Structure 1
């Protein structure tokens, strides 16, 4: 049974971590599976949105610590991080279409970073997040966790989350800006469907450029960001604005060009 399941339906790709007995703990098979799935998405022009989730009752429990203890193949170490773990995270970041994290349960350690790697993150109310790296493992937050935490929560909360290792509830994660939305467990699929429907009918080119503009904003001055926005608009206004304006006046959904 594959450690990562990949399927497509009506323009939506679903990438599901599939080690439910270990709460989808990460090993080399999982990370290679993620890289393979996102490589397939990269070349499949029919894909408009990606949903990343976990099988069973967990989203992702981070690195497979049983394998680390046993020293088995695929355990997290600097070499596998360089050759397998980090490439998978870079593949998610470089995905050409919007990504949605469906957080169905615990997101711990590297799973915390994985949950924040997507553009939109939606959690079940029973889900929680925990940065196990520092107080429990004696290492720094990885898989992008140290990048996303301060950008989303500010330095004070980032240090508290990373250095103390306490649980962050789904409701707290929304309040602190870690994720987009938390919903009742039985409403998780409906909430994800609503988001993917919006993203699927949006302009792929606009979605890609929105992600890029927001990512670049912290590194730019206001003047630099205004210039960046203008460069995007020079391409997007001729491509999309006439259809968007017509749809608004006609009180219908816009029908944007589906090519990326």
Structure 2
């Protein structure tokens, strides 16, 4: 699971706090979770101060810290969903998914339950396109050595860990923003159209929020969605004579326009709860 026995020991101290936090989420006792998070952070801080600069150990601590950060973001996600702060919860959701990628990349800690759950949750939101900016920059500075991360003089690889630090490229000397693109597969999904929390766009995730607030099932049991088509009467349909001008305003005869639109198909999603014991999470 981890590279060093010292890290395994630290994780064994932190994991019960994480499990307790997940159990408290099901009870919606969010104020209790902050105490466990503070205790976990204190354990990690003490572990860093006691380490002997072992690179593998520091990398392991980075992953354990990511697990604690995940719990924090996961708590805020469900707090915002239950409070119907859906725009804010979208950012929490993306934070959770980013942290899961880090945990999966640098450890064997099992996060399958959360990955399945959060990817299903993502499909309930109304976002299909995103904004991405284009800018002219002089270079990207390595967050570790300060050199151009794309040059041969920098020994670090973006997205890799070095002594408990992740190498990232920091844009330097931005001279201009030259365009904004609309994309469907961005690297960062946080830049979206802003909708009102009480608007129709969030009707599906609002439905989930109200199910959870009504204790229809625990949060940990939410995992799967079933999509289908539903045929229902078209509320705008007006029965007319076949040769009359269609009431929709197209100028065509009814028989060549809306005669077949008495019924319409719409998308339907069913939330399928699956029993899950948080004790087996983050294993």
- Same-fold status (TM-score > 0.5): no
Relative to the length of structure 1, the TM-score reads 0.28
Name whichever structure is richer in helix by fraction.
Answer: 1
Q: Which has the larger radius of gyration?
A: 2
